Chains A and B, each alone.
Chain A
């Protein structure tokens, strides 16, 4: 199979042609996040003949990923996303050079990883990494293709393209941890990241080949329920593009990290430690399934609940994903500074993945 035949359907497009194909073959794209957004991006970029694709993720595949992360199968449960994605991409197109970065992106590794690529695709699911990618791309002068979801809506844009506006020109300040619900709390309709992710793939192709008009200085808003799109134009703000170094950390909950225990640590502590376990999810979630020792105090009622400070057992907080338990930790630590309080990172989801 010659490469001419392989890409014939796109090289025969007059405005794309052999020239566009040659540019793709010669390009290096980094995709951060191998979840609902990242998978359609990598599948199309790989199918279409992008020469080098870098992948960043450190997650494992869980059952509740499968309704939207359509590259993964039931046989892949528990395996690292990175490993499965690399296998699948190599089977799909053996010509592509695939580079795996088995880590989450952070302030320590971001510049080192991003500097080798031409374009970055932000397919993450949290603000901390989005702001980190923004700042790193400004420092390295790289464009990045942004996509994000909320309920049945999506946003797409290309930031920092040819000195164009950045993410901070739209949203200067990173939201706090409890301002905007994420998919873990809010839910996401399986097909929606597929739509937004393929739009990101399209924008990436346009950035790489120069075909068409790149969505720079424009924010595309997609409303899946109404099947409507709207495009907002915006300009670069010099003060928002004036980034001289990365922040030491982008995690607004960093101060709480030391009181976050991994699900593995929790399980081993639970065997030998006498603890109070508080499940801060809603009562219907609790009734649906909970840990044997847990008592239920929903986050909304936690502020009114009195813990006994004479009870010296350590307090462990759990919720579905670790987000509400982090808020509960903040609340209780402020109220009971003398108690030992921890929260379980990844929550019930992580525990379910460990002991299905």
Chain B
């Protein structure tokens, strides 16, 4: 599963993208939904949990937490940015 990172998520995770071999995500099974992915990433990278708002897109569409995901989906983490 490839996760593209934007804004401050790049800084929190320390790279422009994240590639997760799905079988090691949780030890047993990979996250089945956007919400599970959010939880998993929050545990691994606590900085992400502190963001008040973090949009997650699946295949270039904004996704709600209940949305199902598969290993071949293209995910993006999109935080708000404020600079101008």
Contact = CB atoms under 8 A, between A and B. Distances in A.
Interface string A157-177: 000000000000011111110
Interface stretch (B21-29, B32-40, B51-59): B51-59
A124 B81 CA distance: 11
A16 to B, nearest CB: 28
A125 B51 CA distance: 18
A155 interface: yes
Contacts, number: 103
Nearest to A35: B84
B84 A37 contact: yes
A243 interface: no
A193 B60 contact: no
Contacts of B61: 232-234
- The range of chain B's interface size is 20 to 34
Interface string B1-37: 0001011101100000000000000000000000000
Interface residues of A, number: 42
A174 B53 CA distance: 7
Given A181-B8, A232-B57, A233-B62, A130 B76 contact: no
25 contacts: A124-B84, A125-B82, A126-B82, A126-B84, A150-B82, A151-B7, A151-B10, A155-B81, A170-B78, A170-B80, A171-B79, A172-B53, A173-B52, A174-B52, A174-B53, A180-B8, A180-B80, A219-B78, A221-B6, A221-B78, A230-B4, A232-B57, A232-B62, A233-B60, A235-B62
